[in-house]
Amino acid sequence: MTDQPEHDTDLSNESTAAEIETPPAGTEEYFGAAYPAAQRYAEHLATTGIEWGLIGPREVDRLWSRHILNCAVVAEYINENDVVGDVGSGAGLPGIPIALMRPEAKIVLIEPMERRVEWLNMVVDDLGLKNVRIVRARVEELVDEEMFTVITARAVKAMTTLIEWTREVISPGGRILALKGASVEGELVKAKKLIKRYRLSQPQIHVVDGGGILEVPSRVVEIVKK
- How many structural domains is the chain composed of? 1
40 among annotated binding-site residues: no
Q: Where are any strands of DSSP class E within the chain?
A: 83-87, 106-110, 132-135, 148-154, 170-180, 204-208, 218-224
Does residue 64 lie within any of the structural domains?
A: yes
Edge-first strand listing for the sheet containing 83-87: 132-135, 106-110, 83-87, 148-154, 170-180, 218-224, 204-208
Tell me the per-residue pLDDT of 35-66, one tens digit each, with 9 for 90 and over.
999 999 999 999 999 999 999 999 999 999 99
In this prediction, what percent of the chain has a pLDDT beyond 90? 89
> Is 128 annotated as belonging to a binding site?
no
Q: Tell me whether residue 87 is in a domain.
A: yes
Residue 23 pLDDT greater than 60, yes or no: yes
**Span 193-216, average pLDDT:** 96
154 annotated to a ligand binding site: yes
CATH number at residue 205: 3.40.50.150
Residue 9 lies in a domain: no
Domain span at residue 46? 23-224
For 133, residues 6+ apart whose C-beta sits below 8 A from its C-beta are: 1, 106, 107, 108, 109
- Asked if residue 140 belongs to a known ligand binding site, the reply is yes
State the first-to-last Cα distance of the chain, in angstroms, to the nearest integer: 30
For residue 117, the Cα-to-chain-centroid distance in whole angstroms is 14
Q: Each residue of 173-193: pLDDT tens digit?
A: 999 999 999 889 999 999 999
